Structure formats: C-alpha cells, structure tokens
Amino acid sequence: MDDNCLFCKIIAGDIPADKLYEDEDILAFHDINPEAPLHFLVIPKKHIIGPGYIDETDQEIIGKILRKGGELAKENGHESFRLVANNGAKAGQTVFHFHLHVMGGRPFSWPPG
Ligand code: AMP
Ligand code: ZN
C-alpha cells in the first residue's frame, strides 16, 4: 500500500469504485472517464508502479490480470477488445499503479496515437 496512490486507496475501500471483479490478488473496476462503451481497469492489489516495474515474483499476477481482463470482456459480450498498459507520463500514464485498460464496443485504430 502506497498512502499517496489513488488505486491503493480504491483497493483499501477509502475511495469508491464500480467493481466488476475482485479476489485476493486483483481488482477490476469501471474507468471513471470511459473512452469506449466498455472500459474497465484491472489492477494488482500489490502496488506495482507500472509495466516497467514488474519483477519476477509478479509474473503470475500479471498473467492473471491479462487472463481475467479478456475473460471479463467476453463475459460482458465483447469478442473484440483492446488491452493497453501505459508506462511513464510520455506514454500517457497518469496513475502510477499498474493497470490494464480493457476497452471494447467501438472500432480502434492502429497504431494508437
Ligand atoms: P492511465 O492514463 O493509463 O494512467 O490511466 C488512468 C485511468 O484511470 C484513466 O483512464 C482514468 O480515467 C482512470 N481513473 C482515474 N481515477 C479513477 C477513479 N477514481 N476510478 C476509476 N478510474 C479512474
Ligand atoms: Zn498503488
């Protein structure tokens, strides 16, 4: 737990979130500012800063986040979806606690801007 981290506060229950899934390792909740009809985030309960800070002991949890992200997208009726994880401000990261964006329900261009 990082006392200054927004997502750690959501995990602790200090800030509310619209949750889709939770277990002992991970949490999925709807993005507060959705960029697609389906847009939720999947995060580890452990405070990992971002994709550039995954250590060997985190590999299983990151795999679980990917698996669960896809599973939840399909359960919510989306066979096509986009997964995004930003690392660093220049890549668009604004919350420095690892999060997988799961987005669906509209076309996505490639490459992303
Ligand atoms: P990123 O720019 O990749 O760091 O993504 C951070 C995401 O967190 C953005 O899409 C925000 O809309 C989202 N976000 C920020 N605050 C909250 C919150 N309190 N509840 C849910 N999503 C949030
Ligand atoms: Zn955190």
Check whether 73 has a pLDDT greater than 90. yes
The reply to whether 109 falls in a domain is no
> What is the chain's percent helix, strand, coil content, to nearest 5?
30, 20, 50
Between the two ends of the chain, the Cα-to-Cα distance in Å is 32
State pTM to two decimals: 0.98
* 112 in any annotated domain: no
Residue 41, in any domain of the structure: yes
The catalytic position among 39, 78, 97, 99 is 99
Query: 1 pLDDT band (50/70/90 cuts)?
Result: confident
CATH of the domain at 21: 3.30.428.10
Q: How far, in Å, from the CA of 109 to the mean position of ligand 2?
A: 30
- 29 CA: nearest ligand 1 atom: 21
Range of the domain at 80: 6-104
From the CA of 75, how far away is ligand 1's center (Å)?
Answer: 22
Residue 113, in any domain of the structure: no
CA angle 91, 94, 97 (to 5 degrees): 100
Cα distance between residue 69 and residue 78, in whole Å: 11
Distance CA 99, CA 91 (A): 13
Query: What's the domain count of the chain?
Result: 1
Within-domain flag for 51: yes
